[in-house]
Structure 1
Amino acid sequence: MKKVIIVLASMLVTSVILSACGSGSTSNTASNGAGATGDGAISGTVTFLTNRTDMIGTQFDDYAKRFHEKYPNAQVEFEAITDLDKTTKIRMSSGDYPDVVLIPTIPNSDLPKYFTPLDDLGLNDNIYFKDYKSYEGKVYGISVGATTTGIVYNKKAFADAGITEIPKTLDEFYAASEKLKAKGIVPLASNFKDQWPLYPWISEVPTSMAGDAKLNNDRMNSDTPYQMNNPYGKSMTIIRTMYEKGYLEKDVNSTNWEQSKKDVASGKFAMVMLGNWVIPQIIASGTTSDNIGFFPLPYDNSGKVNVSLAPDWAYGVNKNSENVATAKAFVKWMIEDSGFDQYAGFIPVLKDKKATIPQLQQFDSFKPVTIEAVADDPKVTDIVNHAQITKEALVQEFILAHNPQSVLDKYNAAWAKARKDILK
């Protein structure tokens, strides 16, 4: 799951956190691993490019202070953007990108062009998704955390609507949505306009329905991967049905991501379908932890459910950084010491570290079958890029179309042409 946080409008917020006793930048080579050279080699200033605009001026200030306390000769600065994937790729293509970035959607074969290996951090034997951002046996990216996707909900809104049992079938899910609508509560926040929050309906949910982590990669074997009666069509039909029945925002074209978190927190909206990472953001938007729950989406009427376990964005270190050792030290510090995974609501990427948030414990009580994500096949990535397919845009068009089959036909045609060009 990779999970992809992409929005249409780009916003740049830069926070420069300087310490009074820091030294100037010094040059380190890629061989200077953070764990191997001693703290004396960790010096200079590095910049981290992140999508967490909400942490600028708050948690990131604390991180900068604590990192400097551990490495007195080093400093970290933070640059936050919302259109992360697109903006990072543009900056990488120009050669002007920060010391530490969240690796965008590029083929793994391109990783050595931009990033330095992280194998010398001593983490390889204790992390999930070690091979996810690897190439030819070398690890170039380590996930910030693991995510699973489901329904985050406001417990009071459920109680106010008379919902006493968590839906375990799709029919029960629609019935609960009807009760919420009748009570004047918006059942599900789609964040349709912002587009990126629609990704589960074309990625995680189809994978769960198929019970196959290779579903997205298997598209390479077909000219028509998008069908009404396969996991892609069935998944998108759920969110289309929610739209048709009036279970989404009254005007889906005027939704707002930041406001939606406040609306779920207040109970104006009851649910949102996203990864566990959104839970602490909703709580921080105006409610208490015990008012927010988390359960797997019941995508059919079987009473059984699969869920996808996926890495989120992965830290990568610019191979041309002037302070590679310091950049590596910061990555390791973020994973081991920062506490970011708990703050962000992630399942820790370190195998010996357990998730502590109660919502994940509630989610696990439904005993879902976990489907661990696999890395994207480079050829599939090439086909997607060549066809210029934005998966969330596909969902948008499917939801609004008079004839959803025509949308699938359009994207299948683009896919087939790109597949022919790439695989010829």
Structure 2
Amino acid sequence: MGRKRRRRLPAEPIELAVTDLSHDGRGVGRHEEKAVFVHGALPGETASARLIDRNRRFDEALCEQVIEASAERVDPECPWFDHCGGCALQHLDHSAQLEWKHKRLVDNLTRIGEVSPASWWDPIAASPWFYRRRSRLSARLVKGKGRVLVGFREPQGRFVADVGNCRVLHPDFSNRLLSLSQLLGKLSVADAVPQIETASGDSGSAIVLRHLRPLTTADEQHLRDWSAENDIAVYLQPKGPSTVHRLCPDQHELTYRLDEFDLELGFHPQNFIQVNADINRALIRRAVELLEPTADDRVLDLFCGLGNFTLPLATRAGSVVGVEGDEALVEAGRANAVRNGLDQVEWEVADLAGDVSSQAWYRAGFDAVLIDPPRSGAFEVLPVIAGSGARRVVYVSCNPATLARDAGELVNRHGFRLKGAGIADMFPHTAHVESIALFERA
């Protein structure tokens, strides 16, 4: 078979009216009866855009000039916004971003789940800057620029964006992209480092360096020197995730506090944690308030991770069972329970896509359930929730479409009422929609 021919793109920009925002935050318009997704354009605008890709059903474009601007348009605070895909909505006023995310949740619940809550809650929001305490940055040696680029990818996703700093990364990394670039440029494997992961706790940070060829002794010394100069730990990943190990310093731990519950949680740089510390604390507070656990209650936390919700619930409830499919996260949860002197938590490793109804921990029944599933949602575990005896269920979601699907099942099939729902601005300036919902037995 011959090589697939790329569709030729016109050199001249196109002009179009933008009528909507797509699920990923791009403006949506039409040109010659075909949908066009335009990075950097907003509803109500007339824009001149350059096509960057053509598909059978739609085209993709970058906004080059706003001919007629939306009243909700603001100047992006990042000078590289037009060339970096790390943010999609910096040009939209932050309050308008919250409104758009709320509308997405409303639309998904209504259209997909055919449900609507008794109450819509105000958004959970905080400062929209310097919030990302975990990130996965791309790296690429670009000989034409004479250096390694480190950052998010460009809007079309093919190349690493050439930026000087990043206003959404945690302060330990927002001004260190060039430093990381210089570090990689010193390595013998500069052309074999595809990504760097960053992780930050309340008082310390780490990077995880993915390298496709072995490091030399000199490479390791460069990394140690950079670590000491920046007070940031360096972990290495020569192959799959199981090969991640700390290079330096000899002792290092990442932690974050939940002062309202007098808790401190430790985590590994590759453990899943909620990206936005302020929003995470507010979400935990809201979830505990909604479930109203008492000393007589037994609470089930599904997809419990390293105990982010489990341990705060355990400070209020009589007992909590945390269930997670990732054994490493369960071990981290156990360690965090010991760290905080909480012995009323039972930890279980289980495949939540399978049937767990015969497990001893499940048969004892529950008064309340908290669930924080991945983007794919929790469809397979909904019968487990329904059969648990719980009178209240709090669902924390990172995907409004799967939340809507699962909400429809809980309400229309399993006899719950959707009492309330609202968004949490976990990823400001992006199209990501985090939300929280409360279900009660009908």
What TM-score results when the alignment is normalised by the length of structure 1?
0.25
Which has the higher relative contact order, 1 or 2, with Cα contacts under 8 A spaced 6 or more apart? 1
Higher helix proportion (structure 1 or 2): 1
Higher strand proportion (structure 1 or 2): 2
What TM-score results when the alignment is normalised by the length of structure 2?
0.24
Q: Name the larger-Rg structure.
A: 2
